[in-house]
């Protein structure tokens, strides 16, 4: 298969593990795949994108993005992390970028409160089944009452749109995406390489 481009959004206040968890999954999956298939193209090309290339994650970790919104290539897989999302929610440029990337991507996904950004950008349609961090379930229902917001799941797969619960659930979701895109064997080997106990059975794709 050809290389799939994974773009992960970064912004001031992003939750570090929301960002780094998917980054680790997709880059590790590429590394594990390359060991078994030497000489083949990389499975995933993982890049970070931010409005300004230098951002400060929640709790102070500084990140230097690969691309700005203006020069980012098109995503095959879009990952929108959460954290403190007030600034990106108030940024028409960021919301427009999310909407445009999601429209062209094979899969658009969110971690934690990244679901608020997908909703505000118009990516989540009415009656879409979604989830977020347990602490933010009530607010997501209140702000976007037409969404079908569910709790007690690690992720919700609607085909092109996949949302996950909080923080570490983004790792579970990302492994699920690896399984969808490249097979269960690679997802299991990736989880083993990461020494991660993958929760695989708390949500399934909806019809």
Instruction: Give me the active site residues, please.
Output: 112
State the chain's maximal CA–CA distance in angstroms: 51
Nearest alpha carbon to residue 10 among 1, 22, 19, 21: 19
Instruction: Find where tokens 């969110």 sit.
Output: 110
Work out the end-to-end distance of the chain between its first and last CA atoms, rounded to an integer number of angstroms: 26
Question: CA–CA separation, 171 vs 164, rounded Å?
Answer: 9
Phi, psi of 173 (to 5 degrees): -60, -40
- Classify residue 2 by its DSSP letter: P
Strand partners, 56: 62
């Amino acid at each position: 298969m050809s290389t799939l481009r994974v773009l992960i959004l970064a912004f001031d206040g992003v939750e570090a593990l929301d960002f780094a968890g998917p980054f680790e999954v997709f880059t590790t999956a590429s590394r594990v795949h390359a060991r078994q298939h030497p000489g083949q193209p990389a499975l995933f090309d993982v890049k970070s994108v931010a409005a300004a290339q230098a951002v400060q994650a929640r709790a102070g970790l500084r990140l230097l993005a690969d691309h700005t919104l203006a020069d980012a290539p098109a995503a095959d897989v879009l990952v929108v992390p959460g954290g403190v999302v007030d600034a990106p929610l108030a940024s028409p440029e960021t919301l427009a970028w999310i909407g445009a990337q999601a429209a062209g991507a094979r899969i658009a996904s969110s971690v934690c409160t990244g679901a608020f950004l997908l909703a505000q950008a118009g990516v989540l349609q009415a009656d879409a089944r979604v989830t977020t961090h347990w602490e933010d379930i009530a607010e997501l229902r209140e702000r976007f009452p037409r969404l079908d917001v569910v709790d007690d799941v690690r992720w919700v797969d609607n085909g092109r749109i996949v949302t996950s619960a909080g923080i570490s659930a983004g790792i579970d979701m990302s492994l699920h995406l690896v399984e969808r895109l490249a097979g269960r064997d690679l997802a299991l080997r990736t989880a083993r390489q990461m020494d991660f106990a993958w929760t695989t059975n708390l949500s399934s794709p909806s019809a």
